[in-house]
Amino acid sequence: MITRRPHVVLLAASLVLTGCGGGAAATPERAPVTTTIRPAPPISLDVAPQQLPGLGPKTWAKVPDDARQAVVVTGRGKNSPRSTVVLYERTDAGWEAGESWPAHNALRGWTDDHHAGDLRSPIGVFGLTDAGGRLRDPGTRLPYDQGGGFTATGTGFEGEPLAGSFDYVVAINYNREPGTSPLDWTRPLGAGRGGGIWLHVDHGGPTHGCVSIAEKHMKQLLRALDPARHPVVVMGDADSLAR
């Protein structure tokens, strides 16, 4: 059942002007003159960035104008299964960053042409509209589907147990129908383009295509995401995001 619920750079630019005093040559008629330029007081600016850090023009252009929350997943490398996750909130001053959380992505890294079974996470900007999990809603404002369909079994690529991985999930709107349970398997781009890409609880190893973070961080994320702020995820390796 789906329920709906309401959630610098301290540019201490020490603009210091260090000037050397220049003196006129001493003559019997005029005493030496010394001019001193005093250091300017430090200028401290505490301003949030107007654009999400680390994004190049191509990626930034894909972020919707109405997005006021952005989960930025930055991979260590194109072929790396490790990444970091930061939730940004857009304010009148600009984008403000939350904590940085360690994460896993797909075993073989990232791709901008994802297909089923390639063991790579899709690069791009995608909406975050629906959540769910095996455990009850921890207090998210996203529609939340709780049920046994989120039970994970087996082991991961490094032999780690997968149990609990889907206790909490947020569906990433890659090749899926927004506004449905994460368990809905409608694939608008076709089954060959993969799907079922989620943010979910980390099991200690690489994923098939999802992004995983610690359980406590999943709870924080679920409680923070607000559909009224049109949240998106921006995901990919650092070099791809910088384009």
- Give me the active site residues, please: 200, 210
- How far is CA 1 from each of CA 88, 141, 143, 161, 243, rounded to the nearest angstrom? 30, 15, 10, 27, 41
The DSSP 8-state label assigned to residue 155 in this structure reads B
Q: Sign (positive/negative) of CA torsion 50, 54, 60, 63? A: negative
Q: At a CB cut-off of 8 Å and minimum separation 6, what does 221 contact? A: 71, 87, 170, 199, 213
CB atoms within 10 A of CB 208: 19
Q: Is 100 helix (H, G, I), strand (E, B) or coil?
A: strand
Alpha helix stretches (DSSP H) within 35-174: 57-60
Q: Sign (positive/negative) of CA torsion 41, 46, 49, 52? A: positive
